[in-house]
Structure 1
Amino acid sequence: MKVKWKGTVGLIAMILMLSACGKEEVKEVQLGEVARSIFYAPLYAGIEKGFFEEEGLAIDVTTIPGGDKTMTALLSDGVDIALIGAETSIYVAGQNPNDPVVNFAQLTQTDGTFLVSREKVENFDWNMLKGTTFLGQRAGGMPQMAGEFVLKNNGINPQEDLTLIQNVDFANIPNAFASGTGDFVQLFEPTASIFEEQGMGTVVASFGEELGAIPYTVFMTKESTLGDKELIEGFTRALYKAQNWVYESSATEVAKAIAPYFEDTDLALIEKVVERYRDQASYAKDPIIDENEFENLLQVMKEANKLETDPDYTKLVNRTFAEEVVK
């Protein structure tokens, strides 16, 4: 199922406006995002602040829940660019497609999930998870792999030291926890903060801070699309402007800019989440996909026994455009 961004009217208006100004070659870009999340704030800010417009690009965002579905949309030409976890491109690379998928710009550089405890915890220690029921993310996805990696680094064996639940669909994890499943849960924002505000749980740790830097969410496209250098360079330049703006502006300004994408979320909550993600540097500060961070990603996948090939960074990542705009 595809969930279209409600700003289509604004998109059309922008195209008409640019045409009226004499900029006739406006390129509409179909972008598929794996989720609608404040974790992706620089993308939405870039659209709302007109950075993509300045590059002659009209970005039409479609939310396609599930990494496999987003990747399918990219491979079938349903979208031009996909915003998804870098691990997905590694899975596809093992299938040797005729038109390989290439990662070209990074949006987030840490895990975006938080550990939420059902009960209030004083002086949290990871050993407190032993003997409890932990409601994790979907098996094989980066959130779950990162979560298990962090648990192991803190002396917790996910298969032996606790009861690990990972068969709940991504969209239903919050509801499962709210209905009484699990003592601890791994949640993205703003759900983690909403649970805190409603007294349903307490954020006790950040998987992003524990895991360190990895190319968690990146923009990728097919190799053939990279041939449109004007498109990819313009997109990457707009993204870099947005990344700078998100860190240079106040959390209040950022929250106001991206609020149209979260109509049912209180502005103060959006601001809180933006600040939390900025404080732990979850938003990448430039679009370059660093090789060392990529190796960290591979290590997480190896630990989860999900790496069946020996990925070649030079084939999976094209940093030409990102390096050029950062100059």
Structure 2
Amino acid sequence: MRKSLILLTIFLIAFFSFAGCTQKEKLEKVRVGEVTHSLFYAPLYVAIGKGYFKEAGLDVDLQTTAGGDKTMTALLSNGIDIALVGSETTIYVHSQGAKDPVINFAQLTQTDGTFLVSRKKVDSFSWRDLEGTTFLGQRKGGMPQMAGEFVLKKHGIDPQKDLNLIQSIEFANIANAFASGTGDYVQLFEPTASIFEKEGKGHIVASFGAELGKVPYTTFMAKESFLKKDAKTAEAFTKAIYKAQQWVDTHSPAEIAKVTAPFFKDTPSDIMVKVIERYKNQNSYATNPILDEEEWNNLQSIMKEAGELPKQVPHAELVNTKIAEKAIGQ
């Protein structure tokens, strides 16, 4: 009897160990490159933290690729499978006659995610205060810079004539350059902007997102060949993102901060809550992954105003909404 019990125990341990290994092996690895690491992408971290990708059978390998050009290079060279970056990059690739175009298939953010940070504390800010100052801008041709210029022009400021505009600094080094004393104003993502404010390195005076309106600022994209070959993977990925978007939309900044905290270990919890609240209040987080035609046209208007639009591209040519529509059950 005792021998039988021992054999049964060994069998059960072996069975569940095998079952666990099998379950783990079933997860399909997907390499994702994010253009920067920011709470602006909270739904992505929620999808990982809440286990939504694993539920969908995916093992997401997330890496920060620091900058639109580097992110797109990683995607085109098969260093990553999916990129999270500004939709303008797909237009640039398309204009170069790519045989395997990059297609936007799931939108994550729907406003600009940057804030205007002043070195000095300003009691009553006016956009005209920027005239004659040194402005530390983003990379030329990138969405942050084009969005920033669009907002400045909206307030009657010519970035090339009315400012000392610096665009020569690498994306990943902009914050450090400002902290080291370069510029009177800088355009920064969160949580860096709020951390600088807390540390007395700068003061947030305005939001580019609140000024700009809705655009497909950051989307998940992949090469057309990947979306055809791995259609089920793209669908599973998008379903997980949609689930996370819905969770973020219906939960408080404090709850979201708790889930995303492991991804921002050096960021104080009070800063995280403040940042997420700021993004939620200006509707930066898309509540579903569909990139619609109106937003696509708004993007191209901004690019055209900045002199960076190679050629008008129809929505249907570089945007696949079928994956997102299927993900939300339309």
TM beyond 0.5: yes
**Partner of residue 10, structure 1:** none
**1:65 match: secondary structure:** coil
Runs of 4+ with deviation above 6 angstroms: none
**Partner of residue 283, structure 1:** 285
Is 1:55 the counterpart of 2:60? The answer is no
Over 3 Å counting, the alpha-carbon distance change for 1:281 and 1:99 in structure 2 is: same
Whether the aligned pair in 1 keeps the contact of 2:141 and 2:308 (CA below 8 Å) is yes
Give the 5 Å matches for 1:164-179.
164-179=165-180
**Partner of residue 220, structure 2:** 219
**Partner of residue 94, structure 2:** 93
Is 1:314 the counterpart of 2:319? The answer is no
Gaps spanning 5+ residues in structure 2: where?
Answer: 1-16
Between 1:62-71 and 1:296-305, the stretch displaced more is 62-71
Partners of 1:293 and 1:18 lie apart in 2 by 46
Whether the aligned pair in 2 keeps the contact of 1:137 and 1:143 (CA below 8 Å) is yes
Partners of 1:269 and 1:18 lie apart in 2 by 42
**Partner of residue 6, structure 2:** none
**Partner of residue 237, structure 1:** 239
Question: Structure 1-normalised TM-score?
Answer: 0.91
Between 1:67-76 and 1:278-287, the stretch displaced more is 67-76
**Partner of residue 134, structure 1:** 135
Whether the aligned pair in 2 keeps the contact of 1:113 and 1:207 (CA below 8 Å) is yes
**2:26 match: secondary structure:** coil
Whether the aligned pair in 2 keeps the contact of 1:18 and 1:26 (CA below 8 Å) is no
**Partner of residue 211, structure 2:** 210
Whether the aligned pair in 2 keeps the contact of 1:18 and 1:24 (CA below 8 Å) is no
Partner amino acid for 1:244?
Q
**How far 1:176 moved relative to its partner?**
1.9
Give the 5 Å matches for 1:1-327.
19-20=20-21, 22=23, 25-227=26-228, 228-327=230-329
Partner amino acid for 2:319?
V
Report the aligned-residue RMSD. Answer: 1.6
Partners of 1:17 and 1:27 lie apart in 2 by 18
Partners of 2:23 and 2:259 lie apart in 1 by 27
Which string of whole-angstrom CA distances, capped at 9 and with x for unpartnered residues, describes residues 154-194 of structure 1?
A: 11111112211111221222222222222211111111101
Partner amino acid for 2:147?
A
**1:146 match: secondary structure:** helix
Question: Structure 2-normalised TM-score?
Answer: 0.91
**How far 1:56 moved relative to its partner?**
0.7
Partners of 1:44 and 1:246 lie apart in 2 by 10
Partner amino acid for 1:277?
Y
Percentage of matched positions with identical amino acids: 61
Partner amino acid for 2:224?
E
Partners of 1:88 and 1:110 lie apart in 2 by 16
Partner amino acid for 1:186?
Q
**Partner of residue 7, structure 1:** none
